[in-house]
Amino acid sequence: MIIDHPLLGPRDAAEFVYLGDACLIDRPDPGDENAARLFHDYLHIRDNPAGEHRELWFHEHGDRSWLVVTRNTLTHEIVRVELARDVALARGRDR
Amino acid sequence: MSGPFRLDGGAIERGRTLAFRFDGRRLTGRPGDTLASALLANGVRLVARSFKYHRPRGVFSAGSEEPNALVELRSGAYREPNTRATVAELFDGLEATSQNYLGSLRHDLLAVNDLLAPFLSAGFYYKTFMWPRSFWERVYEPAIRASAGLGRLSGEADPDSYDKGFLHCDLLIVGAGPAGLAAALEAGRSGARVILADEDFLMGGRLNAESHEVNGRPGAAWAADAVRELASVHSVRLMPRTTVIGAYDHGVYGALERRTDHLAAARGKPRQILWRLYTRRAILCAGASERPIAFGGNDRPGIMLAGAVRAYANRFAVGTGRRVGVFTNNDDGWRTAGDLSAKGVPIAAVIDVRDGEPAAAVADARIRMNSRVVTTWGRHGLRGITLATGERIALDCLAVAGGWNPNVHLTCHHGGRPVWRDAIASFVPGDRLPGGMSVAGAADGCLTTAGALADGHRAAVAALGELGLAAAAGEPPVASDEATGAASFWHVRESRGRAWLDLQNDVTVKDVELAHREGFRSVELLKRYTTLGMATDQGRTANVLALAIMAGLTGRTIQETGTTAFRPPYTPVPIAAFAGRSRGKDFRPTRLTPSHDWAEGQGAVFVDAGMWLRAQWFPRSGETHWRQSVDREVTDTRGSVGICDVTTLGKIDIQGRDAAEFLNRIYANGFAKLAVGKVRYGLMLREDGIAYDDGTTARLAEHHFVMTTTTANAVLVFRNMEFARQCLWPGLDVHLISVTEQWAQYAVAGPNSRRLLEKIVDPEHDISNEAFPFMACAEISVCGGTPARLFRISFSGELAYELAVAARYGEALMEVLLAAGEEFDAVAYGTEALGVMRIEKGHAAGNELNGQTTARMLGMQRMVSKRKDCIGNVLSERPEMNRDDGMELMGFKPLGSGDELTAGAHLLALDAPADTVNDEGWISSVAYSPTLETSIGLGFVRQGHARIGETLRAWDALQGSDVRVEIVSPHFHDPDGELLRA
């Protein structure tokens, strides 16, 4: 597999470590009154889509960027690669 | 002469003779021969025994689809079983042995299986070996294992080396037959970076095997010229002897190149290279494989594919018989008669299943239209055939032409399925090709030479256009279109005796009928039930025939019946090629600390710690048992001073205005208020609240920290911290870098550690107890100006420091420390003594941080700050993890003097039976404490602190130990911490 790194261009998938669903960016608010349930879902509940899937890859043997890779689980086609930091900022994560 | 069956012409080198042996017999061949062609040239027809029935078998094909002619090549550790003689290139001194028989190839005692055939039908395993149950493992399995399999492994380590390689190109062309060569010529002339790979050692594909003309010249000569032209083009890489084995994601292809298999000795060169080809576009020109027709007794040596018979005559100059017959359902079969006649091989008969006029005149041959072969005879080789009319014809070779199957395999590696094309009665590639792939020539169902040449050229022009490269606007090579009329004819119904489909696995038409009767009608079930299409050839000559017969039985079309999934690899790949250089100690890199050579010079015993090698202990002369060394290292360290290499701990440099806040969220305990010049112990939790790593972090400046992690988790902790930084809190100003390899770090421990360090720390740095108390840190210099970092931390429980210098000074520092420590009798200690001292002190380590334990279990619940957010904080509050009767980390001592504790022992009440219900905890770490002169242990037991002084059983069935233990404080040594603050 080839992942088209937004900063470094196409790189072999062997340089990356896979983590999982990009929803791991959306860490719940620990101050929420339902924090325990929210964290349970955050840790353990996953969709298993047949089709496009947004997932986290870490360029461990490269520049250490975390990436959000949108991959079609049926064809392995990669339709989008973003810096996870940009995705996190866009989703309202900050400090 | 190199054999009585040698003809004129061909692509073999007449001037040289190659000597080889087959089953000990000395034979000769020519450069350009395969083992199969050389055997045939010598009249050797019986070359193997079949898998199940041990039927005599001969060479069936002239390519990688060969089901029969599997042999063992070479000898000793170099022995390679199940090698296809049809692709094994002959070399001088080649040793080949037939396989899969008991006794001799000619008189195989296991041929008794053939008589038992009525009992060995499809699925006989599942029907026959049911009872008695006690026979399963003691009788049936050993018997089946003894008779199963084909060749024998050498049983020795593979003495060859294998490499992996990586290549990039604009255009990969798979196969160098007419389509592939036409495509490569066009692409090469356009300047594209081209790789042309072919599994054969002679490029040209069927042009070498046929008598067609291209551009008015013999096809083989045109192919040779084309290869010569391509070899002169800088941007074209020719890869003969290279099989493209799989189409992987995003234009990546796998290919196996055989570098030295055709040489007598590898002479240090890699035997094979597994290439990873990164391509922008690929054209599959993999050609087609011929299939047989099923009829009675169609497996005898001498019965061959018609195209293979032509290949042996035209390319290898070998006549495959003295009287050759042709049995065909298509026009192509007639070419065999024509080509062999032209070479002077007598044609006995041409039998065509179709009605109508003969496709050609063949001198002196019996021509039988609308006719069929129903059985054959000849024990060790074909002697004749019988037609449906009862007519008997004596012949020693029957060329069978059942039509051609495009080699669609690679088009299906991304889940695509081939589609049936009636016009050629074959499957052709479907619409869903791997991205960037196109198909040309026979692989795409274009079965004439003229068509293949034009199609290859067209595909190259199209691919170049997609790549944005200008085509060279060359004209495609020209050949005349040959006749390709064919009938859908699979099986002679009036056959007498068994009609074979899969020669390698001995699957017959009857087996398919049985599978149908018993309900195994889906092709995937048919395959598993009958073993059709398994093993080295993956049914390349068998599958379509069997599908057609199953389709006939079920009344479905062949398209509806479908094919089994095609998966890589296209042809067998040695496991050694996948391993490449990653064997033995090269399986993964070995990491050595800067003072490794020094430790080796001291005679240290090393232990693997992940990829690191760490000194485990340093034996001294007279010490005969590791315990003597370790006890001495502990006693001398606690008595005076010891030095230990702790470089392998993960080290992470953390900087930024929000570094303190960031650490506050990474660690369970607080770090925001850590003063500059101080170190703090920190515990990390997973988000689910379980403890996963610990270490110390020093604040060197307001916005600069340096963290240590455990050796084992260094990579994971860094990865998780980058995740937190980039994904969870991208607004924090914090930056991380791993500095594990940049710093060599040494623990200096023991009551004399300060006095030792004072000798090497430069005098402007005051490290007195007042100026540099417990948990202080500073950037200092040593040995007259060498920058260093000093941390007053203690894993041993003694007055202790860790001193870090740039990695390049690590070895020198170790020597300086021991020289300066000579007056204190300083010792070097290894990981074993380190472990003993941390157990004596009651520090948790990997055995306690095992992914099941919480801060509360480790006695650190007060450290977990409730006032701040940190990873794992929320879920560490789960009630089940905070029960009052939970496990607590405690110390354990055996009651009986001399009793030894074992790690992994379970704790039980004294009178309780040893079962799960009564399990009260476990011992996690043990050591012999030379300080306390007894075996001690750390472990977890329910409500431990309330039960100090209680006696339990430590029961360990695995290690056969059952001793009484007392629950004690986990802090065996200096529980109040007076020593480390001294």
Q: Please, are residues B710 and B649 in contact by the beta-carbon 8 Å criterion?
A: yes
Look-up of token digits 């993964």: B588
Does the structural domain B498-577 have CATH classification 3.40.50.300? no
Instruction: Answer whether residue B428 shows pLDDT above 90.
Output: yes
| B448 residue type, one letter | T
What is the mean pLDDT of the segment spanning B26-55? 95
Pairwise pLDDT comparison (B912 vs B485), residue with the higher score: B912
Choose among A42, A43, A93: nearest Cβ to B729.
Answer: A93
| pLDDT tens per residue across span B562-571 | 998 899 999 9
Average pLDDT for residues B478-503, to the nearest whole number?
Answer: 91
A67 vs B: CB within 8 A: no
| Contact call for residues B891 and B842 (beta carbons, < 8 A) | yes
Could you tell me the pLDDT band of residue A42, with boundaries at 50, 70 and 90? Answer: very high
Query: Which residue of A lies nearest to B665 if distances are taken between CA atoms?
Result: A95
User: In total, how many domains does chain A have?
Assistant: 1
What percent of chain B stands above pLDDT 90?
89
User: CA triplet B797, B806, B640: central angle to 5 degrees?
Assistant: 30
Query: Among residues B272, B253, B252, which one has the least CA distance to residue B262?
Result: B272
Interval B840-849 mean pLDDT: 96
pLDDT of residue B486: 85
Whether B578 contacts chain A with CB within 8 A: no
Alpha carbon of residue B606 to chain centroid = 29
Inform me whether the pLDDT recorded for B153 exceeds 70: yes
The answer to whether residue B168 scores a pLDDT higher than 60 is yes
Q: Does residue B672 belong to the interface with chain A, where contact is any CB pair within 8 Å?
A: no
Question: Between chains, do A2 and B723 touch, taking CB under 8 Å as contact?
Answer: no
In chain B, the residue whose alpha carbon lies closest to the alpha carbon of A76 is B249
Model confidence at B696, pLDDT cuts 50, 70, 90, reads very high
Q: How many CB atoms lie within 10 A of CB B58?
A: 25
Alpha helices in B500-625 (DSSP H): 509-517, 523-530, 543-554, 558-561, 575-579, 596-601
CA dihedral B326, B331, B336, B338 (to 10 degrees): 110
Task: Tell me the angle at which helices B219-231 and B178-190 cross, rounded to the nearest 10 degrees.
Answer: 30
Mean pLDDT of B337-364: 94
pLDDT tens for each residue of B452-473? 999 999 999 999 999 999 877 7
Please tell me the CATH superfamily of domain B650-738, with its number.
Aminomethyltransferase beta-barrel domains (3.30.70.1400)
Measured between CB atoms, which of A28, A60, A75 is closest to B719? A60
Question: B54 in helix, strand or coil?
Answer: coil
Chain A CB contacts of B250 under 8 Å are: 1-2, 76, 78
B548: Cβ contacts below 8 Å, ≥ 6 apart: B488, B490, B491, B558, B561
Distance between CA atoms of residues B382 and B386, nearest Å: 12
* Yes or no, beta carbons of A2 and B250 under 8 Å apart: yes
pLDDT at B2 > cutoff 70:
no
Point out the residue among A35, A77, A87 whose CB comes nearest to the CB of B874.
A35
Per-residue pLDDT for B230 more than 70? yes
In this predicted structure, the answer to whether residue B647 has a pLDDT above a threshold of 70 is yes
Is residue A54 less than 8 Å (CB to CB) from chain B?
no
pLDDT at B297 over 70: yes
Give Cα separations from B639 to B68, B634, B646 (angstroms). Answer: 76, 8, 21
Q: Is B774 in CB contact (< 8 Å) with chain A?
A: no
Smallest Cα distance from B718 to chain A, Å: 10
Residue B966, CA atoms < 13 Å, CB-side half-sphere:
13
Domain annotation covers residue A70: yes
Point out the residue among B688, B715, B727 whose CB comes nearest to the CB of A88: B727
Instruction: Find, among B492, B506, B585, B580, the residue nearest to B539 by Cα.
Output: B506
Is B249 touching A (CB cutoff 8 A)?
yes
Report the sign of the C-alpha dihedral through residues A60, A66, A70, A72, in that order.
Answer: positive
Q: Do A40 and B875 touch (CB under 8 A)?
A: yes
**pLDDT value of residue B376:** 98
Residues of A in contact with B875 (CB under 8 A): 36, 39-40, 43
Report the top-level CATH class of B162-288+406-467.
alpha beta
Q: Do B731 and A19 touch (CB under 8 A)?
A: no
Residues B11-36 have a mean pLDDT of 97
- A23 part of contact set with chain B, CB < 8 Å: no
Least confident of B553-557, B733-737, B864-868: B864-868
Token pair in block for residue B576 = 């050694």
Does A31 contact chain B (CB < 8 Å)? yes
Strand partners, B678: B699, B776
Read off the pLDDT band of B445 (50, 70, 90): very high
At the second CATH level, the architecture of B607-648+742-837 is 2-Layer Sandwich (3.30)
Judge whether A71 is closer than 8 Å to chain B, CB to CB.
Answer: no
Residue A82 belongs to a domain with what CATH number? Answer: 3.30.2270.10
Contact indicator for B874, B881 with CB cutoff of 8 Å: no
Residue A95: inside a domain:
no
Band (B184; pLDDT cuts 50, 70, 90) = very high
- Report, as an integer, the average pLDDT of B189-197: 96
- Decide if B478 contacts B215 (C-beta within 8 A): yes
Q: Is the pLDDT of residue B812 over 90?
A: yes
B422 touching A (Cβ < 8 Å): no
Give the ranges where B318-404 is alpha helix by DSSP (H): 331-342
In the stretch 713-752 of chain B, residues with CB closer than 8 A to chain A read: 715, 719, 722-723, 726-732
Q: How far is A47 from chain B (nearest CA, A)?
A: 19
CATH 2.40.30.110 matches B883-982: yes
Phi/psi of residue B584, nearest 5 degrees: 55, -130
Please list every residue in chain B whose beta carbon sits closer than 8 Å to the beta carbon of residue A24. Answer: 723, 727
- The answer to whether B231 contacts chain A (CB < 8 Å) is no
* Token pair for B687: 């988000």
Q: Residue A43 above 90 pLDDT?
A: yes
Is residue A66 included in any domain, yes or no?
Answer: yes
**Is B117 an interface residue toward A (CB < 8 Å)?**
no
Phi–psi pair at B710, nearest 5 degrees:
-70, 155
CB contact under 8 A, B722 and A31: no
Cα distances (angstroms) measured from residue B819 to each of B438, B755, B826:
71, 13, 9
The residue segments making up the domain with residue A64 are: 2-90
Task: Please tell me the number of Cα atoms within 13 Å of B836 on its side-chain side.
Answer: 27
User: Testing the interface with A: which of B727, B733, B737, B873 to mutate, by most A Cβ within 10 A?
Assistant: B727
Cβ distance A93 to B728 less than 8 Å, yes or no, reads yes
Which chain A residues touch B589 with a CB distance below 8 Å? none
Q: Is B231 left (phi over 0), alpha (psi -120 to 50) or beta?
A: alpha
Tally A–B CB contacts below 8 A: 83
Worst-scoring range by mean pLDDT, A12-16, B418-422, B486-490, B688-692? B486-490
Asked if A17 and B719 come within 8 Å (Cβ–Cβ), the reply is yes
Phi, psi of B113 (to 5 degrees): -55, -35
Angle of helix B523-530 relative to helix B543-554, nearest 10 degrees, comes to 120
The answer to whether B251 contacts chain A (CB < 8 Å) is: yes
**Which strand (E) or helix (H) includes residue B428?**
strand B426-428
> Do B727 and A65 make contact, defined as CB atoms within 8 angstroms?
no
* pLDDT (tens digit per residue) in A45-90: 999 999 999 999 999 999 999 999 999 999 999 999 999 999 999 9
SS3 string, B822-870, reads: HHHCCEECCHHHHHHHHHHHCCCCCCCCCCCCCCCCCCCHHHCCCCCCC
Q: Which CATH architecture has domain B18-115?
A: Roll (3.10)
With contacts defined as CB-CB under 8 Å, which chain A residues touch B414?
75-76
CA–CA dist B920, B665 (Å, integer)? 34
Taking the C-alpha atoms of residue B323 and residue A14, their distance in angstroms, rounded to an integer, is 57
Rounded to whole angstroms, what are the CA distances from B130 to B123, B124, B126, B136, B139? Answer: 12, 10, 7, 8, 12
Residue B1, pLDDT above cutoff 80: no
Q: Tens digit of pLDDT for each residue in B745-794?
A: 999 999 999 999 999 999 999 999 999 999 999 999 999 999 999 999 99
CA–CA distances in Å: residue B695 to residues B180, B645, B672, B689, B716: 61, 16, 16, 17, 14
Q: What is residue A36's three-state secondary structure?
A: helix
Domain residue extents for chain B: 18-115, 117-147, 162-288+406-467, 292-402, 498-577, 607-648+742-837, 650-738, 883-982
What's the whole-number mean pLDDT along residues B79-99?
A: 96
For chain A, the average pLDDT equals: 96
Compare CB distances from A39 to B252, B658, B874 and report the shortest one's residue: B874
Residue B274 has pLDDT above 80, yes or no: yes
Asked if B728 and A25 touch (Cβ cutoff 8 Å), the reply is yes
Task: Find the CB nearest B727 among A1, A39, A84.
Answer: A84
The confidence score (pLDDT) of residue B328 equals 97
**Residues B786, B409: Cα–Cα separation, whole Å:** 64
Q: Do A25 and B728 touch (CB under 8 A)?
A: yes
**Residues 6+ away with beta carbon under 8 Å from B126:** none
A84–B878: do the CB atoms touch at under 8 Å?
A: no
Amino acid type, B655: Q
- Residue A76: DSSP 8-state: -
Shortest distance between the Cα of B911 and any Cα of chain A, in A, equals 41
CATH class as words, domain B292-402: alpha beta
Stretch B164-170: mean pLDDT: 97
Q: How far apart are CA B549 and CA B495, in angstroms?
A: 14
Contacts of A90 in chain B (CB under 8 A): none
Judged against a pLDDT cut of 80, whether residue A35 lies above it is answered with: yes
Interface test with B, best of A66, A79, A86 (most B CBs within 10 A): A66
* Set of chain A residues whose Cβ sits within 8 Å of the Cβ of B731: 89, 93-95
Q: How confident is the model at residue B797 (pLDDT cuts 50, 70, 90)?
A: very high
Cβ atoms of B714 and B738 within 8 Å: the answer is yes
In this prediction, residue B623 carries a pLDDT of 96
Say which residues have a Cβ less than 8 Å from residue B484's Cβ, sequence separation at least 6: B330, B331, B332, B424, B447, B448
Give the ipTM.
0.99
Distance CA A6, CA A3 (A): 9
- Please report the pLDDT score of residue B109 as a whole number: 82
Mean pLDDT of all residues belonging to chain B: 95
Chain segment B129-148, per-residue pLDDT in tens? 777 888 878 887 777 777 66
Closest by Cα among B238, B280, B239, B255 to B437 = B280
Show residues of chain A in contact with B436, CB under 8 Å.
Answer: none
| A4 and A65 Cβ atoms separated by less than 8 Å | no
User: Averaged over B662-681, what is the pLDDT?
Assistant: 96
pLDDT in tens, B614-638: 999 999 999 999 999 999 999 999 9
B661, B839 Cβ separation under 8 angstroms: no
- A88: closest CA of chain B, how far (Å): 5
Cα distance between residue A64 and residue A79, in whole Å: 21
Q: Which of A1, A19, A94 sits opposite B249 (nearest CB)?
A: A1
Mean pLDDT of B727-734: 98
Q: For residues B354 and B358, what is the distance between their CA atoms, to the nearest angstrom?
A: 9
Report the gap between the CA of A57 and the closest CA in chain B (Å): 10
The arithmetic mean of pLDDT across residues B605-611, rounded, is 95
Return the percentage of chain B with pLDDT > 70, whole number. 99
Contact residues for B637 (Cβ-Cβ < 8 A; gap 6+): B749, B750, B796, B798, B827, B829, B833, B837
Same fold, B18-115 and B650-738: no
The mean pLDDT value for B725-749 works out to 98
Are B658 and A76 inside 8 Å of each other by CB?
no
pLDDT confidence bin for A11, thresholds 50/70/90:
very high
Distance CA B886, CA B888 (A): 7
Res. B124: pLDDT tops 80: no
Q: What is the predicted pLDDT for the residue at B868?
A: 87
Average confidence (pLDDT) over B192-211: 98
> Taking a C-beta distance cutoff of 8 angstroms, is the pair B300, B56 a contact?
yes
CB of A79 less than 8 A from some CB of B: no
Using 50, 70 and 90 to split pLDDT, how confident is the model at B406? very high
- Of the pLDDT bands very low, low, confident and very high (cuts 50, 70, 90), residue B59 is very high
B24 vs B120, which has greater pLDDT?
Answer: B24
Q: Do A64 and B722 touch (CB under 8 A)?
A: yes
